[in-house]
Structure 1
Amino acid sequence: MKRLLPAQVAGMLLLAAVFQSCEHDKDDGPSTVKKWNVDIKAIYEVPAPAGRNEEGEATIELLADNSLKFDLHIHNLSASDNLTNAHIHNGNAGTSGGILIPFNPTFNGARSSGRVTGLRQGQIDSLLGYPVYVNVHSKEAPAGLVRGQLDKKIVYAQDIILLGTNEVPPVTTTATGKAILRLTGDKVLYSVVTVSDLESNDTLTAAHIHPGATGTNGSPLIFLCNNLSDFGVVKVSAPLTDANYNQLLNDPMYVNAHSRRHGPGLVRGQIR
């Protein structure tokens, strides 16, 4: 058997030591528990800020030492506006909820990155197991300029103005309304339908999504409000059928709110 010379043994030991040192150098911090890459858009706000089309990306990373890294980047920020704050909030795609984790960011123009330390277990549990969203605030949109869900991907979002003049035939009424629609990739629809200034001798009864282009009427397809108490609150659907999901994303559709005096439709707004 060939014997190794002392110099060869020493060289091998040195190489082993260098290898171990390099392996140690690779340990540059706590491991990642979960990472989210989130699309954040103005239209995802509830309600969406009028006339704003900013969007961007948020990278959120939960680490094993109970800290959270974030990187936020907003595109097309209005020249008249400045970003002011950012948080993770409790709430599903149709809800504006309270703050769960404040970022306390410092913005460099339309970008900020940082790290939040010392998360409580309750915050971590909510982050991993409940509907939450990241929300970036600005001077002109203090309630939120852009947001995005961590728990689900939003595939369609629209705020629709409802008017009596959109009905077929038109309805003369003082009432106006809004339908907030948010559809997620698992085919769940989040909706809030509100109607204001309804005549005192009338009562809201229902609201639906109907198939039909402008100037035409169709039968109810997706039920949003089944009675008066359903108006003004977030409604969460069961997963839509594949057919209804595809219709909502692609076909001519409209939202119609009905009342006791105007059974065929009180106020209406076109989805497309």
Structure 2
Amino acid sequence: MTTQLKNLRPSLFASVALALLLAACSTMPADTTHTSEVTLDSAHEVPPNDSSASGAGTIVVKADKSVSGSVTTRGIQGKVAHIHEGALGKNGPVMVGLTKTGDNMWSVPDGTKFTDAQYASYMAGNLYINVHSATNPGGEIRGQLQP
């Protein structure tokens, strides 16, 4: 019986060690994904306008800098929509053109990926989405992306 106990100890030790290792791994962060819920309105456009249009959506940015998501609009005949680089209250250049995928829906094109600089701007909160219309060609509604 003493031999059986001696043989059981390494097996028990290995089982406990494996359990601890698995527990430690489960608390490690997985692939970092940032999900930004965005609300678009005319008050955040630069300059603001008096449109009653609105929009909302979700943009997902993964650790490999791939981007996906969409926004849905209400009360606007959108002509184009983009992700721009620019801090809150500032206008900036277009980074990603969104694709119209429904009457009131704009989606990030498949395969879109941020560069390192674009990802850094995203992480700093310096990206926004806006939707342009015939009435407001510079942008009718806008929402800042917050990682």
Q: TM-score, normalised by structure 1?
A: 0.42
User: Number of aligned pairs?
Assistant: 140
Residue 185 of structure 1 aligns with an amino acid whose one-letter code is A
Two-structure CA RMSD over aligned residues (Å): 3.3
Larger Rg: 1
**Which position in structure 2 is the counterpart of 1:194?**
72
Asked whether the 8 Å contact 2:99–2:107 carries over to 1, the reply is no
197, 205, 227: which one pairs with 2:100?
A: 227
Unpaired runs of at least 5, structure 1: 1-13, 40-149
Percent identical pairs in the alignment equals 24
Structure 2 residue 16 is matched with structure 1 residue 153: no
Unpaired runs of at least 5, structure 2: none
Structure 2 residue 78 is matched with structure 1 residue 169: no
41, 57, 61: which one pairs with 1:179?
A: 57
Residue 241 of structure 1 aligns with an amino acid whose one-letter code is T
Residue 100 of structure 2 aligns with an amino acid whose one-letter code is N
Deviations 1:172-231 (A, max 9, x none): 322101232222211112222111122xxxx323322212234332121133x2335382
Deviations 1:126-179 (A, max 9, x none): xxxxxxxxxxxxxxxxxxxxxxxx6x322x332222111222222332210123
Q: CA deviation at 1:15?
A: 5.5
Q: CA deviation at 1:237?
A: 4.3
Distance 1:36 1:234 in 2: 32
- Give the secondary structure class of the aligned counterpart of 1:246: helix
**Which position in structure 2 is the counterpart of 1:130?**
none
Taking the TM superposition and a 5 Å limit, the aligned residue runs for 1:1-272 are: 16-26=3-13, 36-37=26-27, 152-154=31-33, 156-198=34-76, 203-223=77-97, 225-229=98-102, 231=105, 236-250=110-124, 252-271=126-145
Which structure has more helix as a fraction of its residues? 2
Deviations 1:8-53 (A, max 9, x none): xxxxxx7644322324545769x88x864376xxxxxxxxxxxxxx
